[in-house]
């Protein structure tokens, strides 16, 4: 099972960490009754219950004979007692006695057509939180119609420019009059991000999902009735085209102007290390990035799309779902790549799409329906802003954890996303800050090898250095537990099946595939013959030798993935045990076998190194589908390359158009695409170069 969402009148599983407002009078932002807790014991301990409570009342056999309502004593808070109870292994769950209210429905004229808000329980969430103007969501897109009456009050403004002189760069950021945001188009940088997308008003539509003004008796409601949407225009014209260098500058602008969330509703069918660097920079600055999965119907576990395939702890990749809570037919997906589903609809300009704000210049009215993962992403961006409005002290990883841990389980998304479901805004506001796994590296591991688990809330509190990691029902050996509570290294046992990983018994289940399982009757699994790399094991002395592990991984990742390789492996298994017996008995044969295996091991190690990241960093061919703008290259040097050597390489390569700020990436221009391809090939081979890639053209992410 991916995610277990228990439904009861309390609508939650466990206590809410972080600031809560409690009272015996239900009102806005007050979530539970003061001095009351619901607790269910696996084995009831009435002595312990009496130490906490004045009264301990069963709620009736029809609910559960072990479910009790506690009336607290001793002056301790609900949060303190819930925290204590949750540490008891006999407690199935403990939670405040939540108020249950009717859901708030905004009076916006077309809210009844916004099926997406109903699907994600937005009306229940709005009873607790409707957004805050302290939270900034940067929308990197086709711009925003900042004159739209349902958007204007919620748009971010650059106060220095808004209060400054017209025609001057009042904040000295190199951009004149960037009051509403900025527009990047190659060398053209202006402070006017007005949406001019004559095709479908893409950026304005995305912005309305995040933060159209709610409850103002007109149009639609955004997920946040109040917020600040920052317009960063990087896509232009009817097709919504841009370049990777403009995206990087846009992310830099958003970070520099204190954005909390960056929405990226675009996609390229390649892996971009330049974009990866920019997302890493956002992570270092506490910024959450939300990325559309893309609309090719592809499995992202087997193919690449940027930014969706960039597996970083601050990046949330969003697949699209329909009004009937199925995966949209066009949506990309991936069990270890796509984090979560959100409403994206089925068909544009029909009621099966997502209704949101439009710019009249697009010719489709002030409001209309558009479908795509572009529309799914801003639902998650908006939810992140809503969570931050309710819990401003959470960091960006904890916000992501709440989103993943609060889904509605959807059968079709069970094997298509990490979380296994579609977002639920109400659950995200009331559920506790449980452990959440973002990624496991590698996601396919050889038995006996370690894995690195990244996520959030690992441990009861930050600074925890102990806890449990389980694969199925088996505990893994802890190698290291990061003090941040966000990273764990654990070792996979030799004799264990593939399954789902949990940290401290909490959070979303993350799938882990275990290959080369080694078990034998009456043995602990550490038998040389159990690795099945018989000759290599005999030559190097142990199946745990790094060279043997490399051969096993190469076998599992390359040979066993195709029929020819499988036949070769089966043939090897038939002939190798006898040869291994001879090698094991002769020191001379061992040395000869090591010498003979040398080139094979080297080839395997090189192949594994090249596949460690989605594409190679070296001279990727330019796909035929992305031939635009290939006269430019993005290049990043490795750390500590001296400036004089950098300038020497740049001078030999071609003219430097621009050095992009923050992430130290250079944008190089060439006279024609052929020269750019030659330069790319040459630069990629230099040891001083971290990566070189085309300045990929970008398109808005719509089917």
Q: Counting beta carbons within 10 angstroms of the beta carbon of residue 488, is it exposed (0 to 12), middle (13 to 18) or buried (19 or more)?
A: buried
Beta bridge partners of 626: none
| 3-class state of residue 651 by DSSP | helix
Token pair of 155 as six digits = 């748009």
Cα–Cα distance for residue pair 418/439, rounded to 1 Å: 9
Cα–Cα distance for residue pair 636/644, rounded to 1 Å: 15
DSSP code, position 493? P
Phi, psi of 380, deg, nearest 5: -75, -40
Cα–Cα distance for residue pair 192/502, rounded to 1 Å: 47
Cα–Cα distance for residue pair 391/383, rounded to 1 Å: 12
Annotation says 280 is catalytic: no
Q: Which helix (H) or strand (E) holds 450?
A: strand 450-456
Cα–Cα distance for residue pair 404/438, rounded to 1 Å: 9
Active-site position among 12, 17, 127, 141: 141
H helices of 46-174, where?
Answer: 46-52, 78-86, 115-119, 122-126, 159-162
Answer yes or no: are the C-beta atoms of 358 and 377 closer than 8 Å: no
Active-site position among 226, 245, 374, 389: 374
Phi, psi of 46, deg, nearest 5: -70, -30
Tokens 């206590």 map to which residue? 15
Cβ-Cβ contacts under 8 Å for 178 (sequence gap 6 or more): 158, 161, 171, 191
Annotation says 201 is catalytic: no
Query: How many CB atoms lie under 10 A from the CB of residue 640?
Result: 6
Annotation says 202 is catalytic: yes
- β-bridge pairing 450-456 and 487-491: antiparallel
- Assign residue 83 a region (left: φ > 0; alpha: ψ between -120 and 50; beta: otherwise): alpha
Cα–Cα distance for residue pair 360/410, rounded to 1 Å: 36
Q: Counting beta carbons within 10 angstroms of the beta carbon of residue 261, is it exposed (0 to 12), middle (13 to 18) or buried (19 or more)?
A: buried
Tokens 């635009």 map to which residue? 628
Ordered DSSP codes for 137-181: EEEEES-B-TT-TTTGGGB---HHHHTS-TTS-TT-SS-TT-SSE
Answer yes or no: are the C-beta atoms of 618 and 673 closer than 8 Å: no
State the number of CA atoms in the 13 A half-sphere of 120 facing the CB: 34
Cα–Cα distance for residue pair 32/429, rounded to 1 Å: 13
Token pair of 473 as six digits = 């029902």
Answer yes or no: are the C-beta atoms of 592 and 482 closer than 8 Å: no
Rg (the chain; Cα; Å): 28
Query: How many CB atoms lie under 10 A from the CB of residue 100?
Result: 12
Q: Which helix (H) or strand (E) holds 21?
A: strand 21-22
Active-site position among 202, 379, 396, 397: 202
Answer yes or no: are the C-beta atoms of 494 and 528 closer than 8 Å: no
- β-bridge pairing 689-694 and 655-660: unpaired
Beta bridge partners of 57: 69
**Residue positions annotated with a catalytic role:** 141, 202, 374
């Amino acid at each position: 099972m991916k995610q277990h969402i228990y439904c009861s009148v309390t609508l939650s599983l466990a206590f809410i960490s972080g600031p809560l407002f409690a009272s015996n009078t239900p009102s806005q932002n007050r979530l539970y009754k003061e001095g009351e807790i619901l607790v269910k014991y696996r084995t009831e301990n009435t002595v312990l219950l009496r130490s906490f409570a004045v009264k301990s009342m069963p709620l009736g056999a029809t609910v559960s004979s072990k479910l009790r309502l506690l009336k607290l004593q001793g002056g301790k808070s609900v949060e303190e007692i819930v925290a204590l109870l949750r540490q008891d292994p006999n407690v199935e769950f403990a939670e405040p006695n939540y108020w249950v209210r009717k859901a708030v429905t905004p009076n916006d004229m077309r809210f009844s057509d916004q099926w997406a808000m109903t699907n994600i329980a937005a009306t229940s969430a709005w009873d607790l939180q409707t957004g805050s103007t302290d939270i900034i969501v940067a929308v990197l897109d086709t711009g925003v119609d900042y004159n739209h009456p349902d958007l204007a009050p919620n748009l971010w403004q650059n106060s220095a420019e808004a209060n400054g002189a017209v025609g001057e760069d009042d904040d000295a950021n190199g951009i004149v009059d960037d009051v509403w945001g900025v527009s990047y188009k190659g060398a053209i940088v202006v402070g006017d991000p007005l949406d001019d997308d004559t095709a479908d008003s893409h950026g304005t539509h995305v912005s309305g999902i995040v933060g159209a003004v709610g409850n103002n008796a007109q149009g639609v409601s955004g997920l946040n009735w109040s917020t600040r949407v920052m317009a960063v225009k990087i896509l232009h014209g009817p097709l919504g085209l841009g370049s990777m260098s403009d995206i990087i500058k846009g992310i830099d602008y958003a970070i520099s102007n204190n954005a909390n969330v960056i929405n990226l509703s675009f996609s390229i069918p390649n892996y971009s290390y330049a974009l990866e660097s920019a997302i890493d920079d956002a992570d270092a600055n506490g910024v959450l990035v939300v990325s559309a999965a893309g609309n090719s119907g592809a499995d992202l576990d087997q193919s690449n799309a940027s930014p969706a395939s960039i597996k970083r702890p601050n990046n949330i990749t969003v697949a699209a779902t329909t009004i009937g809570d199925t995966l949209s037919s066009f949506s990309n997906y991936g069990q270890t790549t796509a984090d979560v589903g959100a409403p994206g609809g089925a068909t544009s300009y029909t009621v099966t799409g997502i209704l949101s704000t439009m710019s009249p210049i697009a010719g489709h009215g002030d409001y209309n329906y558009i479908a795509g993962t572009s529309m799914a992403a801003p639902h998650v961006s908006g939810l992140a802003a809503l969570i931050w409005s309710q819990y401003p002290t959470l960091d960006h990883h904890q916000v992501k954890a709440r989103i993943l841990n609060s889904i509605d389980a959807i059968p079709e998304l069970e094997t298509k996303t990490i979380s296994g479901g579609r977002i639920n805004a109400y659950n995200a506001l009331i559920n506790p800050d449980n452990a959440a796994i973002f990624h496991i590296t590698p996601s396919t591991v050889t038995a006996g090898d370690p894995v690195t688990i990244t996520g959030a809330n690992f441990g009861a509190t930050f600074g925890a250095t102990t806890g449990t990691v389980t694969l199925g029902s088996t505990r893994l050996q802890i190698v290291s537990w990061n003090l941040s509570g966000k990273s764990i290294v654990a070792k996979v046992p030799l004799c264990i099946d593939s399954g789902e990983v949990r940290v401290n018994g909490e959070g979303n289940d993350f799938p882990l595939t275990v290959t080369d399982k080694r078990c034998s009757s009456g043995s602990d699994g550490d038998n040389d013959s159990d690795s099945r790399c018989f000759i290599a094991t005999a030559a190097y002395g142990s199946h745990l030798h790094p060279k043997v592990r490399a051969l096993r991984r190469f076998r599992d990742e390359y040979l066993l993935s195709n029929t020819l390789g499988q036949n070769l492996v089966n043939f090897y298994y038939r002939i190798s045990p006898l040869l291994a017996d001879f090698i094991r008995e002769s020191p001379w044969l061992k040395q000869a076998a090591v010498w003979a295996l040398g080139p094979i091991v080297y080839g395997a190690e090189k192949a594994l190194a090249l596949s460690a990241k989605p594409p190679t960093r070296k001279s990727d061919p330019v796909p035929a589908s992305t031939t635009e703008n290939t006269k430019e290259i993005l290049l990043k040097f490795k750390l500590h390359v001296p400036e004089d050597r950098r300038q020497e390489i740049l001078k030999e390569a071609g003219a430097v158009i621009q050095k992009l700020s923050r992430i130290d990436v250079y944008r190089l221009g060439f006279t024609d695409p052929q020269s750019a391809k030659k330069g790319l090939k040459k630069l990629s081979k230099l040891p001083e170069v971290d990566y070189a890639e085309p300045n990929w053209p970008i398109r808005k992410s719509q089917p």
